[in-house]
């Protein structure tokens, strides 16, 4: 066997995994995660129920697959043109607006998977563990790097706390608007997502430039 060749068993396993991810992704666009059974995913993926239960002994075992799906989507997103911030020489206010619009577009594009993740993080936190913490750490790192870039304009005294607050704002306000809009009142906000992102960015700008 030549170097780098994947054994046949691993190839079959990867093919099965890809089928399951594709099927789950498709089903989440129209149904909630907790309403989807292992057997239904097997049918949608073209994988026998017996084969699926050899891989997943129960419904909870599907949760790591869900996070694998989101990681896959995040990696694709990072490489896409939509994810490029391209700040150039713009100031803090315009940079926040760009960042907010990109965050909204990412959530819109990945809404069906992200919604399932957020629900599971609240209802089954014991099954999320390090996967969810990794997601939080990524967000905190992004905000930290952003603050470092604009340290000459930002006047908050504690950069660590500021990064945490900024990450919290981005990951709660947009999540409620995009992922759970059907469960919350619209507060009379008759604006599209980009307009909302700009308004939020202006709030963040005020926070960052106020001692």
Q: What is the pLDDT along the chain (211 residues), one digit of tens a residue?
A: 333 333 445 677 778 878 888 888 888 888 888 888 888 888 998 988 888 887 777 777 777 777 777 777 767 766 666 556 677 788 999 999 998 998 888 888 888 888 888 887 778 777 766 667 777 888 899 899 999 999 999 999 999 999 999 999 988 888 888 888 877 777 888 889 999 999 999 999 999 999 8
Residue 82's domain comprises: 64-208
- Asked if the structure places residue 134 within a domain, the reply is yes
Report the candidate in 154, 144, 161 with the shortest Cα–Cα distance to residue 205. Answer: 154
- Tell whether the torsion through CA atoms of 97, 99, 100 and 104 is positive or negative: positive
- Asked if the structure places residue 87 within a domain, the reply is yes
181 and 86 part of one domain = yes
Q: List the CATH number of the domain containing 99.
A: 1.10.357
If one counts the domains in the chain, the total is 2
Contact status, residue 30 vs residue 74, Cβ threshold 8 Å: no
Length of the chain: 211
78 and 179 part of one domain = yes
94 and 148 part of one domain = yes
29 and 76 part of one domain = no
Is the whole-model pTM more than 0.75?
Answer: no
């Amino acid at each position: 066997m030549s170097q780098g060749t994947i054994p046949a068993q691993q190839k079959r396993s990867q093919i099965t995994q890809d089928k399951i991810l594709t099927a789950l992704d498709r089903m989440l666009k129209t149904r909630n995660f907790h309403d989807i059974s292992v057997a239904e995913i097997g049918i949608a993926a073209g994988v026998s129920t017996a084969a699926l239960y050899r891989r997943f002994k129960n419904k909870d075992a599907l949760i790591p697959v869900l996070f694998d799906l989101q990681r896959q989507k995040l990696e694709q997103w990072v490489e896409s043109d939509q994810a490029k911030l391209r700040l150039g020489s713009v100031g803090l206010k315009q940079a926040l607006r760009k960042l907010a619009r990109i965050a909204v577009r990412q959530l819109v594009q990945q809404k069906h998977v992200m919604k399932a993740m957020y629900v599971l993080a609240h209802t089954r936190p014991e099954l999320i563990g390090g996967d969810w913490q990794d997601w939080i750490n990524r967000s905190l790192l992004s905000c930290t790097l952003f603050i470092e870039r604009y340290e000459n304009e930002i006047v908050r005294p504690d950069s660590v706390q500021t990064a945490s607050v900024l990450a919290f704002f981005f990951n709660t306000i947009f999540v409620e608007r995009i992922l759970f809009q059907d469960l919350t009142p619209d507060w009379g906000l008759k604006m599209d997502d980009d307009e909302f992102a700009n308004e939020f960015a202006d709030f963040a700008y005020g926070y960052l430039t106020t001692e």
